[in-house]
Amino acid sequence: MTGSPTLFTPLTIRSITLRNRLVISPMCQYSASDGLANDWHLVHLGKLAQGGAGLVFSEAIAVQCRGRITHGDLGIWSDAQTQALRRITAFISSMGSVPAIQLGHAGRKASMQRPWHGNGPLDETDIARGEKPWDVIGPSAIPLADGWLVPREMSQADIQKVVEDFASAARRAADAGFEVAEVHAAHGYLAASFLSPVSNHRNDAYGGDRAGRSRMLLETVEAVRYVWPKDKPLFVRISAVDGAPDGWSLTDTVALANDLKSLGVDVIDCSSGGILGSATAAKGPPPQPGFQVPYAQAVKDGSGLMTQAVGLVLTPAQAETIVAEEHADLVAIGREALTDPNWPLHAAVTLAGDPAWEQWPPQYGWWLSRRARLLTALGSARSSNCCADSF
Ligand SMILES: Cc1cc2nc3c(=O)[nH]c(=O)nc-3n(C[C@H](O)[C@H](O)[C@H](O)COP(=O)(O)O)c2cc1C
């Protein structure tokens, strides 16, 4: 590589400057009680902030108690939950990363088992553990699949309450120290289930054509943007295609992105799938590395908004190509960061964006820069020995 990598060029969105284009993708930990953040969340998100990403996303944090996916989800509908998040945002900021919150409501995909308890609807085994199912809501009384809870069709008053609760949650998020907020409208959860004709069969103003099915999300985003500080960025995560035959399409997404732009959204985070089951653990043919990047490109080209690419970005070179060739403005890393929380810092070294290991926390970087010189010297010595041996 020649020149400095685009991946490690800072990016300013509104008043917030990210030190690089790498983002830790939202990842549920299913490890909370009563929606409260605890030491697991501090260490999990803290080590990812130490790992050098420009932006560190929380998992999807529920705006209503019934909007949790599982009993272990984080929530932000109470003062105690807001308070518990403060030390996490403070630590992320102290590491030079920007703390971001994903605000969500699971809709008809609420009341589920944690993945390692079965990833299905809550059942007798969960009840025996003290984790009872609860009533779920959705645009129409259509379950995710056979055997799943049938959601109660939401009244317009229910929709208004969800919109208000997203706005209250955004106000609390600013109070908790988050600098970026994202509305979760992907993966078949509540907002996505309004968008998709697969799950939205309503005949009123919140169903029907694309404009009707988009109304719930647009009202939510408008309410969030109204309370979210003007100088702070707002993202929306969308399933660019929902993966169902005759479902939500990329054309729909580009049109929606233009509507979201007019409401003051800054970045569209482009994922896919989830309306018929899990987006990340989906069955079917294995996706290819970077399979969702074309969605980020299409939305960027079709709306002029900044986009975030995500999904099977596995190598620093791949991430660099995405931003250098302007397929997207940001690259989110999920499972790679679980295997290596220092993925962004390693990427900086690999791409020659950090020759002196200065992006590492000094507690580590000072030692590692010297170790790198030693290893280089050992490597030369080894190769000269090797040559000597072979003569
Ligand atoms: C453990 C785990 C939890 C996840 N939780 C969320 C979530 O809360 N919100 C969300 O939008 N996506 C969630 N996802 C999806 C990721 O954000 C990401 O889009 C997906 O894993 C693909 O990126 P990757 O290939 O880099 O892992 C989750 C993924 C994993 C592995």
Q: In this predicted structure, what is the pLDDT of residue 386? A: 40
Q: Quote the pLDDT of residue 279.
A: 78
CA of 184 to the centre of ligand 1 (A): 12
What is the distance in A from the centroid of ligand 1 to the CA of 100?
A: 15
- E strand residue ranges, 147-288: 152-153, 180-185, 234-239, 267-271
- Work out the widest C-alpha separation in the chain, in whole angstroms: 84
| Beta carbons within 8 Å of 361's beta carbon, 6+ residues apart | 50, 95
Residue ranges in the chain whose pLDDT is less than 50: 1, 384-391
Q: Evaluate: CB of 186 within 6 angstroms of ligand 1.
A: yes
- Specify whether the CB–CB gap between 308 and 314 falls below 8 A: no
Q: How far is the CA of 289 from the centre of ligand 1 (A)?
A: 15
Beta strands in 234-312 (DSSP E): 234-239, 267-271, 306-310
Torsion from C-alpha of 288, 313, 304, 243, nearest 10 degrees: 40
Q: Is 109 in the pocket of ligand 1 (CB under 6 A)?
A: no
| Nearest atom within ligand 1 for CA of residue 187 | 11
189 belongs to the catalytic site:
yes
Tell me what pLDDT residue 259 has. 98
Other C-beta atoms lying within 10 Å of the C-beta of residue 230? 9
Assess whether the C-beta atom of 52 lies below 6 angstroms from ligand 1.
no
Please indicate whether residue 321, judged by its CB atom, sits closer than 6 Å to ligand 1.
no
Atom of ligand 1 nearest to the CA of 25: 17
For ligand 1, atom 4, which residue shows the shortest CA distance? 27
User: Which atom of ligand 1 is nearest to 186's Cα?
Assistant: 11
Distances (CA, A) of 180 to 17, 35, 94, 145, 296: 11, 20, 16, 34, 19
Q: How far apart are CA 160 and CA 142, in angstroms?
A: 20
pLDDT in tens, 209-240: 999 999 999 999 999 999 999 999 999 999 99
- Given a contact cutoff of 8 angstroms between Cβ atoms, the answer to whether 182 and 234 are in contact is yes
- What does the pLDDT read at residue 278? 79
pLDDT for the residue 382: 59
Residue 274 Cβ contacting ligand 1 at under 6 Å = no
Check pocket membership of 95 for ligand 1, CB cut-off 6 A. no
Residue in 23, 25, 101, 270 to alter for ligand 1 test, most ligand atoms within 8 A of Cβ: 25
312 lines ligand 1 (CB under 6 A): yes
pTM, two decimal places? 0.96
Output the pLDDT for position 2. 52
Q: For the chain, how many helices (H) and strands (E)? A: 12, 12
Measuring from atom 1 of ligand 1, which residue has the nearest CA? 27
